[in-house]
Chain A
Amino acid sequence: MQMLQSSIGRKLVMAATGLCLVGFVIVHLLGNSSIFIGADGINAYAEHLHSLGPLVWVFRIVLLGLFGLHIFFGIQLTLENSAARPIDYVEKQNIRTSFGAETMIYTGLAILAFVVYHLLHFTMHVTNPEISVGVLPLDALGRNDVFTMVVLSFQKFFISAIYAGAMVALLLHLSHGIQSLFQTLGLLNGKTLPVMEKIGRAVAVVAFIGFVSIPVSILLGLIKV
């Protein structure tokens, strides 16, 4: 419990939950890329996930817990950090930090807002029920037609824009977050830190391109129903 009041202790929670969330992001990206195989790819993938039954719920609750801890401590630490400099500089020049590092709380909150929208959209079918699973007919093999739902959604420019904007926030968050988490976990030294900064940025860019390629391909008509 003392750990949850300590400076390093709470940072470790941020880092451990951040690492798990990065893992989730990567797995999610791999899963989503099954859309490039076509309806057969992503509908089979969705069917497979739902066949896991109660495991899906275990997974969802764990993920929610990780997300909750990450957000709670993220906000708490950010508030403490801004309180630590009550009078600001007239002129301050940063030398080493990055835009991503300076905007962690904003990109984090943007991701949170996006996750809420994303769940309302594709999981709960609240925002666009007319083109969602449940209203759409099942596919030829009697599965939920996730493929058609995604394609019809991203053909709407506005929806694609929301997703692309959120992925910019994720890009910035991870461009700092990945190297930061390894430093927090104490796994870096003077030599490996600059290398991990490059790896972190590279992973962030790959995740960005991976996710954004889906709405872009659909808008360009490369993937269509």
Chain B
Amino acid sequence: MSCPRDSELALYAGGELKGRRRTWTDGHVRECQPCAKKVGEFHVVRSAVASSAVTIPAGLRAGIRVSVLDRIALDDGGPASRNPLLAGILWACAPLALLAGVAAVWDLLTSEPEMPPLRMAGIAAEVPEGALLLSRQLNTVPPESPGRADSLDEAFGALDSGELIFVEAGEGPGVLAQLRIQTADASIEIHWLID
């Protein structure tokens, strides 16, 4: 009985052989030491591939999203083009994720011409263990308390486990609030947009 080809054994090791081919190869590999060795080597290949994954560098995450949203804003072909207000919010969102453009965001929003009256809304999140607050930001504040923006923008602070973080937002069209928390194994982002 001749040995299966390497290409067959490669598939056998990955579970892609079905039916009679699989049954036959099963039997052969049990009896044939060289083929069993090759199957073992293909298993090594598969696990090496599986463990070669590169996780996205934390610093890239925010940058990628900003670039994507920037490019979308410039793209007339997408769903965003239907809503000019959203394009404005989008431009506000980009510097937020960069954690550096608070002043620019503020300028953008205060220059928004037709902002309807705002009501209050908010969000609270419990801090997971070992979490780091990446940012807590709003892109608008109620016009009746203009000093509020300063207290609503924080970045890169250590947090106590179980601490409740509050972000209050003026509620109305164009409000985007964002809360980003980093733990050892997860990045949590809470942000919401009000119609």
Q: Are A and B bound to each other?
A: no
